[in-house]
Structure 1
Amino acid sequence: MVAAPAGATTLREAFVQTYNNSPDLNAARAQLRGIDEGVPIAKAASRLGVTGVVGITQSTTGLSRLDNGSRVATGQVNLSYPLFQGGRVRNGINAAEARVVAGRAGLRTVEGNTFAAAVSAYMDVIRDQAIVDQRKKNVDVLNTNLRASRDRFEVGDLTRTDVAQSEARLSLAKSQLATAQGNLTASRENYRRVIGAWPATLEPPPPLPPLPKTSDEAVDIALEESPAIQSAIATTQASQYDVRAARAARLPTFSAIGGSSYNDYLGTRARQIGLPSNTPGIDQTQGQNNYGVSLSIPHYQRGMVGSRVRQAQAVESQALEQSIGTERLVVSNVRSAFAIYQAAGAAIAGNQQAVSANELALEGVRAENTVGTRTVLNVLDAEQELLNAQVALVTAQRDQYVAGFALLNAMGRAQADDLSLDGGALYDPVANYSRVRNRFGDWSDSPRYSSPSTRTTGATPDDPDVKPYTPPDPAPVTSPRN
């Protein structure tokens, strides 16, 4: 892959754009912030509860005689503080904490997958751009061949068949160029979808960090560091706490309670107790305070608790099986990526030799064609074989780099903190958790959200690579000699 001109976009810059602008990443961060709120929600069940009631009532002696009845304005405050709830609060908090751990690992998984998609999109554009350039060169060469064939036909050196073969190959090359241009446009649009910007000119990617020598070594790293496995383990732990919390519903609950009430009869107290309304000395207000403890002992709850425990146990079993499935998937992804990486490396070596050999063969076939020992068709075949080898080489280079990064991702080493991004501070998933974990106010909303993700609804920039290609006028044909 040839070097890009100065000012071209680098892979690291593409990573920075993806990290800051990806709606998938920003959605995963928002999801984690929602998971963080599970901790203060669980803690709320252990805190003092305060409720207030105010009201006014009017009694009547008839349908329309409001003035004959009594009135009362009521104010009441009730307090309740749980002292023992059977362990449901403690296990609920532990489950919420475990889900936070799982959510952070899930965010790292989304980061790795997003960066892997960015690498694939980046390399697809580079590959398809190289193929378009090669196809254009092939059209130029075949156009020159056709002119030479027509000139030699005019002097009787070639037959009409030779000219027809040159025309057919040129038409086929133009068709292949159009297909390559379409693939390049699709790759650029996918790049814009993943990274959020139109790819102008891309630099060749930097070398990958050192990779494990064997697939077994890569699997061992993945089992230790893969965020997908870590998330599955934490989710299983959370489900175990959920089972314990469900069982706690079978146990008694013990609470301290208290309250205060105040009634104002608004001058109607005498009528309420059956005295004339103008009876003097009647107190129009009444207050009362109360406090104590409350013990609630469940005896029979219609089978609901047993059903909820069994339901939580089923979810725990599901989480355990899913963790095993995740482990299998990670191992499979690691071994597959390692195999593709190794195979692509061997393909690169083979295709490089094929390109060198085909270049030499083409030079020889062209020389032999000038002395009549090779036909025009032989020259066209040699040119096509060289082009096929060049395309295969570019494709293998792309496949090896993408597979290498996929291997890093499967091992858990393709997140933002592994890539040394230089586009500003990284998103800190702990900051929001630290801010909200002990909040207890009912009016502490988050500020209104404004999406940092970029939109791609604007017009697509002009792309000269997808316009109909007109080969330049060839230089005068000179016949090479042996």
Structure 2
Amino acid sequence: MHRSPTTRRLARRALAVVVGLAMAGNAQAADLWTITQDALANDADLAAARAGFQVTEAGRDIQRGTLLPQISLSGNAAHARVYNSATGGALDAQAQQGGGQPPAGTAARDDTVNTIGLSLDAEQALYNPARRAQLEQAEREIVRDALALDAATQNLLYQVANAYFEILRAHDILSARRAQETAISRQLEQARERFEVGLIAITDVHEAQASFDLARAQRIAAEGAMQVSFETLERLTGHRYDSIDALQEDVPITGPEPADREQWVALAMTNSPMVQMAEAGIEVARSTVDVARAGQRPVVAAFASYGWADSDRTGADYQSESQVGLRASVPLYTGGTTQAQIRQSGFALEVSQYDFEAQRRNTVQQVRSLFTLVNNNVETVEARRQAIVSNQSALEATRSGYEVGTRNIVDVLNAEQNLFNAIANHAEARYDYVLSLLELQLQAGLLGPDSIQAVNAWLSEREAVSLELPDAPSDAVMNIGLRPRAPS
């Protein structure tokens, strides 16, 4: 199959992620790198995008075939029965003169004929602007769909990373909520004991009970979020994992490189497959205009034919005929169809131009917003870490005040709630930073194997998170199965 250099480059770019990850082999630990390989092998949407790209390539071959010689061989065999009858005034007169019988040689007669024939026809388009425009359109569709495959691959990489870190996020929040429930449960028990010996009023017990119920509700919600995050990862990969590597505490939280926002915008305009795909869509639409306009032009083709026939009719011998020549046709009037198609394709071209501008503006806005978000997350992570320290100190001071009677139980419960909220918020800030950094690379068209490997280096197998999954049958693995066979 012939491919232009541009098409080969785009196809290599679209499939480089798959090849690069496949070379890594199967690792024992369920880290982000391993799970990404599973997703690339089992995600049905990406498999459909690959098959769709092959459909487009086959369409180009179809259009190329219409410009190559068209040769056909046909044959026929027939059995015919011919009925001849002698009628008319002259025969009637002869019959009367001859005593009522037709003269010899003029009587009605049946004839049976068997014939066979072969014909060989060949045609070569010499000038067919419509077919050439359709071939050019098919070439441009390959460029567009190669970019679409690249975009689908990068999008899947981000989806896998997002699902992975959403599990870790849910796990950290669940851990904080469980610790919070345990701490408030102990506080509730202490309140009951103090009430029984008359040290506090019943209202303090009720306050502790209310805080415990709220903590329990938050823990249940965190468990539900954890389960939902499992399902997302399973949908993408078709697998369940006993544990996944956790994010290290000493992750380098730094701003994006390059550090200039407009440089990221320039990178996106050069590398974003979504922007390039919209631009390629303009070229496809422009080819549609060329196809419509070509309908007004003449068509010239060379042809050659050879025919041979034979029959068993008495006195007949086989006959053959050969022709070589040129055939030309000029559309004079098509009922206005051609002009309507030109107008229609012109409007479609205008639509594609507006779609490109909309995609360009959206990408610029997304890149600028994400650049700002990443930098904000860098500061947020540090602020959330400091908030844990501050709330820990505040809780210890509140507990000391409660012991000496200067603080009440509500103050203690609020301080504990604030501490565990700070722990959960710090966990969220860390994952927000990682995901916003990956999304920035996605919008800029730079998300690839290097990005996944860089983030994967931030994970620690020693801090693996064991996943508490609900019971499932042993054959619950989802996959896209064997590759479908093309029709022969």
Query: If the length of structure 1 is used for normalisation, what is the TM-score?
Result: 0.79
In 1: Cα distance, 2:77 partner to 2:345 partner: 45
Aligned to 2:81, the other structure's residue is in SS state coil
**Residue in 1 aligned with 2:45?**
24
Please report how far the alpha carbon of residue 404 of structure 1 lies from its aligned counterpart in structure 2 after TM superposition.
1.1
Show the counterpart of 1:82: 125
Greater Cα shift, 179-188 or 410-419: 410-419
Q: Are positions 1:294 and 2:294 aligned together? A: no
* Counterpart contact for 1:366–1:379, Cα < 8 Å: yes
Structure 1 letter corresponding to 2:112: G
Partner residue, 1:344: 377
1:145 aligns to 2:187 (yes or no): yes
Distance 2:321 2:206 in 1: 109
Aligned residue number for residue 35 of structure 2: 14
SS at match of 2:246: coil
Confirm whether residue 46 of structure 1 aligns to residue 54 of structure 2: no
The residue number in structure 2 matching 1:444 is none
- Contiguous gaps of at least 5 residues in structure 2: 1-26, 85-107, 455-470, 475-488
d(CA) in 2 for partners of 1:261, 1:7: 70
Q: 1:177 to 1:11 in 2, by over 3 A?
A: same
Match of 1:401 in 2: 434
Question: Relative to 1, partners in 2 of residues 1:389 and 1:8: Cα closer, same or farther, differing over 3 Å?
Answer: farther
* Deviation (angstroms), 1:100: 0.9
* Bigger fraction of residues in strand: 2
2:33 maps to amino acid: R
Aligned to 1:453: none
- CA contact 1:330–1:410 (8 Å) conserved in 2: yes
Match of 1:190 in 2: 232
User: What code does the residue aligned with 1:71 have?
Assistant: N
Equivalent residue number for residue 245 of structure 2: 203
| 2:76 counterpart residue number | 55
8 Å Cα contact 1:111/1:416 also seen in 2 = no
Change over 3 Å in CA distance of 1:141–1:8 after alignment to 2: farther
Partner of 2:281: 235
Aligned residues: percent identity? 25
Structure 2 match to 1:385: 418
Matched, 1:214 2:260: yes
In the TM superposition, 1:69-468 aligns within 5 A as 69-85=112-128, 87-205=129-247, 210-265=256-311, 267=312, 269-270=313-314, 282-416=315-449, 419=452, 459=472
Note if contact 1:261-1:287 (Cα within 8 Å) is conserved in structure 2.
Answer: yes
What is the CA–CA distance in structure 2 between the aligned matches of 1:460 and 1:374, rounded to whole Å? 54
Alpha-carbon spacing, 1:333–1:27, altered in 2? closer, same or farther (3 Å): same
- The answer to whether the Cα contact below 8 Å between 1:253 and 1:295 also exists between their aligned partners in 2 is yes
Give structure 1 stretches of 5+ with no counterpart.
Answer: 1-5, 271-281, 422-457, 462-482
1:26 CA displacement: 0.8
Q: Is the 8 A contact 1:191 1:199 kept in 2?
A: no
Displacement of 1:61 in angstroms is 3.6
Q: Distance in 2 between matches of 1:15 and 1:372?
A: 56
Shift of 1:60: 3.0
In structure 2, what is the Cα distance between the partners aligned to 1:74 and 1:167?
100
Instruction: Work out whether residues 8 and 200 of structure 1, in 8 Å CA contact, stay in contact via their aligned partners in 2.
Output: no
* Residue identity opposite 2:266 in structure 1: D
Alpha-carbon separation, structure 2, partners of 1:460 and 1:335: 46
Q: CA deviation at 1:143?
A: 1.6
- Aligned match of 2:22: none
Distance 1:59 1:51 in 2: 26
Whole-Å Cα distance in 1 between the matches of residues 294 and 356 of structure 2? Answer: 26
What's the TM-score once normalised by structure 2's chain length? 0.78
RMSD: 2.5
Counterpart of 2:60, as a letter, is V
* Contact 2:83 2:110 survives alignment (8 Å): no
